[in-house]
Chains A and B, each alone.
Chain A
Amino acid sequence: MSAVSTSPQFKRNAHEALRDANLQQALGMVRLGFIDKRQAVVDKLPEFDALRDSAREIKNHTLAHLDLYLERYEKKVQEAGGQVHFARDAEEARGLILEICRKAGAKTVTKGKSMISEEIGLNAHLEANGVTPVETDLGEYIIQLRNEGPSHIIAPAVHLTKAQIESDFRRVHTHLDPTRDLSEPRSLLTEARGVLRQKFLAADVGITGANFLIAETGTSIIVTNEGNGDLTQTLPKVHIVLASIEKMVPTLEDVSQILRVLARSATGQEMSVYTTFSTGPRRAGDPDGPEQYHVVILDNGRSNMLGGEFQDMLRCIRCGACMNHCPVYHAVGGHAYGWVYPGPMGAVLTPTLIGVDKAGHLPNASTFCGRCESVCPMKIPLPKMMRHWREREFERHLMPAPMRYGLGLWAFFARRPALYRLTTRAAMWSLSKLGRSKGRFKSLPFAGGWTKYRDFPAPQGDTFQAQWAKRKRAA
């Protein structure tokens, strides 16, 4: 069992999301916030596309030799005085972490942002066993107060408005003056800083994720802006790194290539504020740093993706660009996807991790506009892989008839004129870019995006309905 999923009811979730005024207000800011910032910083680096190719090749090479790099990595961590633990699934990973916490006599555990931790449902497990987990990334802290999951892989609280966060802070921070002014986002940030500072200093164990693991040196890397991950891993006696097998990269030179595309794609920064390379526990003479350094390496279904049609997905560096540019994500937000990973990357990954029976709808949450693939720093063919899933679903006859043609969700969006316009515009936007650079702008923009992955003509207004009716008769 991993984190609880509501993916089977994607459509109902999406309905609710569209009616949620707060959510729609917050999502408006995703549309505005991420896209222009990324583009501006990409435009400043002429080598960006060449770096994407370089990053893709590095990951392809690593995945093809993953067993050997993992072995080397393990050896190097041990040489540096750290311990490596392997977990086949979520349950094993939770068990290993709880065990380390127990041995350390831990009461509270601070946590840096980790999607793997969400994936394995770690917080609930720790809590159930008397260990209090405290999320320290501001966004994660906010959603923990609300007992919610993240709605975005790099901006977990992106679905919330300032007013909602203010009322959560007032509800939970009851030791503070109730008449204090929290009308500005800055005052919310300052309050969280103050509250969490105490938690950092009191924690017995710090748990972080890892953006990368380096085989050459046995190093784990976290990339953050707040500095919470560094306080999490520097102050307590024990540091636990929780990472999945595909975080591996061979050398420091290799990770340098991927770091260049990560920050730009994720937040539109030239470089994130803190890129931290950790190798083993405190050394002789060190005045600070953890006394124990553990790495828990999780498989949870990933090794089955190697060598198959979903292997490319293991290149994902969790930058979030695909969801930032996804019209469906813009419309319904991350929670509608019903599990830890939303947006296009989630639509591909979730069925492999929790089963196609639970998440079979997700690959249909797409307009096939192609923007996700065009911005993915690792050049992952997301639309193609969503199509793979749909073909599998078709073969398994798991979906009702309209779904089998991949139209259920499309129709759902198409029936809503505002959304339809949005998705169509998005398709035109991406194809006009493609068209300009690759000189193939022959067909109708949206039709091009649509027919590329489909064996019948593009649905367009009345024509679509007429064609659909005809097709139904023929079927």
Chain B
Amino acid sequence: MTSARDDLFANLRRSLSVTGTERIRVAEVEERLAEAPLGVIPARGQLDAAGRLALFKAMAEAASATVTEVESPEAVPQAVAAYLRDHNLPATLRMGSDPRLAAMPWRDTSLEIASGRSDGHDLNAISHAFGAVAETGTLVMTSGADNPTTLNFLPDNHIVVLSAADVGGDLESVWPKLRKALGKGAMPRALNMVTGPSRSADIEQTLFLGAHGPRSLHIVLVKDAASAG
């Protein structure tokens, strides 16, 4: 008896009239995988650094995220405390072990900080973004102990710290950065692109925020990434 796998591949190859060993086909595939050619890149995101930040902010806000800008990483805890206070949210915060977050002066605030993954009982969580895409106002989050994936989805209010230097113009700008960090062909277990808070329009096509994921997404954009050391 042939296995389902063998059968499936045999059927594919019969339909395509190929054997799978044709040198030209193999070479074409290898070349595409090795070179990962770029396609059409929209002009929208092709801006200087200041233009990219302005576009990112505008697009994220259009997707119902909120954005605060701060001048340095040291200013993040106060900005977060102010955000929670202004929205009448409890002064609690869960975070992973990201060293960039850990280095911030949380003691200067009265926030009660918990660490590690979420079990679904946290109202507020904070993560550090791997990067962002100005074109669509999208955050790029990577999984790991630094920034547990559950923090992106379980808490009601998700706060994300983003270094201005990590904002790329277009979606494709994420990939060289990722390959540089992890090596070619490697991915984190989860890479989450997040554009605004969760929503659903499944009832009569009416859009409401706060479906199963966070009801609010707040981005703290750190302008002077250099001083983060």
Contacts and interface: CB of A to CB of B under 8 A. Distances in A.
Contact of A155 (B59, B186, B202): B202
Contacts of A161: 204
A151 to B, nearest CB: 12
Contacts of A277: 187, 190-193
Contacts of A101: none
B208 A226 contact: no
A312 B227 CA distance: 53
Interface residues of B, number: 84
Contacts of B178: 252
Given A58-B39, A66-B16, A67-B13, A88 B96 contact: no
Given A68-B25, A226-B199, A256 B204 contact: no
Interface of B: 3-5, 7-9, 11-13, 15-18, 20, 25-26, 28-29, 32-33, 36-44, 59, 62-63, 96, 116-117, 119-120, 135-138, 143-145, 148-150, 152-154, 170-172, 174-175, 178, 185-206, 208, 210-214
B203 A189 contact: yes
Given A29-B205, A216-B185, A288 B117 contact: yes
A286 B8 contact: no
Contact of B190 (A26, A215, A278): A278
B12 A306 contact: yes
Interface stretch (A6-14, A137-145, A426-434, A444-452): A137-145
Interface of A: 26, 29-30, 32-34, 45-47, 50-51, 53-54, 58, 61, 64-72, 76, 80, 86-88, 92, 136-139, 142, 155-158, 161-162, 165, 185-186, 188-190, 193, 196-197, 200-201, 215-219, 225-228, 230-231, 234-235, 245, 250-254, 256-257, 259-260, 267, 269-283, 285-289, 297, 299, 303-308
A271 B174 CA distance: 15
Contacts of A45: 42, 44
B198 A158 contact: no
Nearest to A162: B204
A289 B190 contact: yes
A253 B63 contact: no
Given A165-B203, A235-B150, A283-B189, A307 B17 contact: yes
A87 B9 CA distance: 11
Given A230-B192, A306-B16, 12 more contacts: A88-B8, A225-B199, A230-B149, A250-B32, A270-B195, A273-B194, A273-B196, A274-B193, A276-B193, A287-B148, A288-B150, A299-B11
A231 B153 contact: yes
Q: Which of B37, B143, B188, B202 has most chain A Cβ within 10 Å?
A: B202
By Cβ-Cβ distance, the 3 closest A-B pairs, closest first, are A227-B213, A226-B211, A33-B205
27 contacts: A45-B44, A46-B42, A71-B20, A80-B189, A86-B8, A185-B206, A216-B185, A217-B186, A218-B187, A226-B211, A226-B212, A251-B36, A253-B38, A253-B175, A254-B39, A256-B170, A257-B39, A270-B195, A271-B136, A274-B194, A274-B195, A275-B138, A276-B190, A276-B192, A283-B143, A287-B96, A308-B15
Contacts of B32: 61, 250-251
Q: Which of A26, A66, A256, A289 has most chain B Cβ within 10 Å?
A: A256
A193 B212 contact: yes
A444 to B, nearest CB: 34
A74 B213 CA distance: 31
Contacts of B28: 61, 65
Q: Which of B17, B39, B170, B186 has most chain A Cβ within 10 Å?
A: B39
